[in-house]
């Protein structure tokens, strides 16, 4: 097995039926002992973008998880489920559904913005130190408190009763299943999610995603994307060889450009246009960068 020191990101297209953990494990078999971790879990029912970070790039997972996400979800009215999707125990509520697309659009407007959302009972949220889905499987009685989530936009992309499709742009922690459930409750007829595709997380698009089963030890290098993409919303500063020596020794890095950054601003320190070596905060008073996350594995590699 290769002992190569990996540092980068894989944009995977997770297939239906595979857990996020199984997708990461497939990659880890190739990259170990380098770490592999994913940003943003997808349920087995869901497909689409699953971002896997390798090596010290796993320290960037939080940045990816908090990026805006885009989903396409399919739903069917007239049903309810204990999982809020088609994989659970589905209850037929009614076959007589008379709402219009305009009715649905009107209700969906109340879900936009920052809202309080109750996660599904079958979810990974913690209830007194235990995962909700484990309690639900044991038929335990428990309450899930609502949490704040941000939904930037919801658009109906297909409407053919009793089914409809939504495209949703949202922030971290949003449950798409819950949107369908709550919409169904507002309509009084119930609704469950039947399909879900994540088409984007931040800069990572479904059109560029690859099948995890296609990644091998021979082609993984060509599949890797730069770790810098995970923090591409930060401005950058190109370092010189002396700067890299300073970073190795835990020192601050002088800014040789005309001051153009704001005090306290997070900056990507780069050794080339694509190679990230540290994240730092700019000090206006000293005109220097104060690193708080240094990717030491990259400091010994020629840029």
| CATH class for the region spanning 69-196 | alpha beta
What are the residue boundaries of the structural domains of the chain, listed by start?
A: 8-67+203-229, 69-196, 234-298
With bands split at pLDDT 50, 70 and 90, how would you rate the model's confidence at 301?
Answer: low
Cα distance between residue 11 and residue 220, in whole Å: 11
pLDDT average, residue stretch 211-240:
96
What is 234-298's CATH topology? Answer: 2.30.130
Cα distance between residue 19 and residue 43, in whole Å: 6
Instruction: Assign domain 8-67+203-229 to its CATH architecture.
Output: 2-Layer Sandwich (3.30)
With bands split at pLDDT 50, 70 and 90, how would you rate the model's confidence at 260?
Answer: confident
pLDDT digits (tens, 9 = 90+) for 46-61: 999 999 999 999 999 9
Residue 2 pLDDT more than 50?
A: no
Residue 302 pLDDT more than 70?
A: no
Mean pLDDT of the chain: 94
What is the per-residue pLDDT for 34?
Answer: 93
pLDDT average, residue stretch 5-27:
96
pLDDT digits (tens, 9 = 90+) for 207-223: 999 999 999 999 999 99
Three-state SS string over the chain comes to CCCCCCCEEEEEEECCCCCHHHHHHHHHHHHCCCCEEEECCCCCCCEEEEEEEEHHHHHHHHHHHCCCEEEEEEEEECEEECCCECCCCEEECCCCCCCCHHHHHHHHHHHCEEEEECCCCCCCCEECCEEHHHHHHCCCCCCCCCEEEEEEEEEEEEEECCEEEEEEEECCCCCHHHHHHHHHHHHCCCEEEEEEEEEEECCEEHHHCECHHHCCCCCHHHHCECHHHHHCCCEEEECCHHHHHHHHCCCCEECCCCCCCCCCCEEEEECCCCCEEEEEEEECCCCEEEEEEECHHHCCCCC
pLDDT average, residue stretch 239-265:
91
pTM: 0.92
Q: Indicate if 69-196 has the same CATH topology as 8-67+203-229.
A: yes
Q: List, by residue number, the catalytic residues.
A: 43
């Amino acid at each position: 097995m290769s002992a190569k020191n990996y540092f980068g990101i894989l944009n995977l297209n997770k297939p239906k039926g595979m857990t996020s953990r199984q997708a990461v494990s497939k990659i880890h078999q190739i990259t170990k002992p380098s770490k592999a971790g994913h940003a943003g879990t997808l349920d087995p029912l869901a497909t689409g973008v699953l971002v896997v970070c390798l090596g010290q790039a796993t320290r960037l997972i939080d940045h990816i998880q908090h990026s805006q996400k885009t989903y396409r979800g399919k739903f069917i009215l007239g049903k309810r489920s204990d999982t809020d999707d088609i994989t659970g125990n589905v209850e037929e509520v009614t076959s007589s559904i008379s709402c219009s697309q305009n009715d649905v659009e009107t209700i969906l407007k109340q879900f936009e913005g920052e809202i309080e959302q109750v996660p599904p009972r079958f979810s990974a949220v913690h209830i007194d130190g235990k995962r909700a889905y484990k309690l639900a499987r044991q038929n335990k009685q428990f309450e899930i408190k609502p949490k704040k989530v941000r939904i930037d936009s919801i658009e109906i992309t297909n409407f053919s009763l009793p089914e409809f499709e939504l495209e949703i742009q949202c922030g971290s922690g949003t449950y798409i299943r819950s949107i369908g459930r709550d919409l169904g409750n507002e309509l009084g007829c119930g609704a469950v999610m039947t399909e879900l595709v994540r088409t984007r997380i931040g800069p990572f698009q479904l059109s560029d995603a690859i099948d995890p089963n296609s990644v091998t030890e021979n082609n993984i290098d060509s599949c890797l994307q730069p770790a810098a993409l995970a923090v591409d919303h930060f401005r950058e500063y190109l370092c010189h060889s002396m700067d890299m020596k300073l970073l190795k020794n835990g020192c601050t890095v002088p800014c040789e450009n005309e001051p153009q950054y704001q005090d306290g601003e997070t900056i990507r320190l780069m050794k080339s246009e694509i190679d990230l070596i540290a994240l730092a905060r700019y000090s206006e008073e000293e005109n220097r960068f104060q690193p708080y996350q240094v990717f030491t594995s990259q400091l010994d590699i020629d840029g």
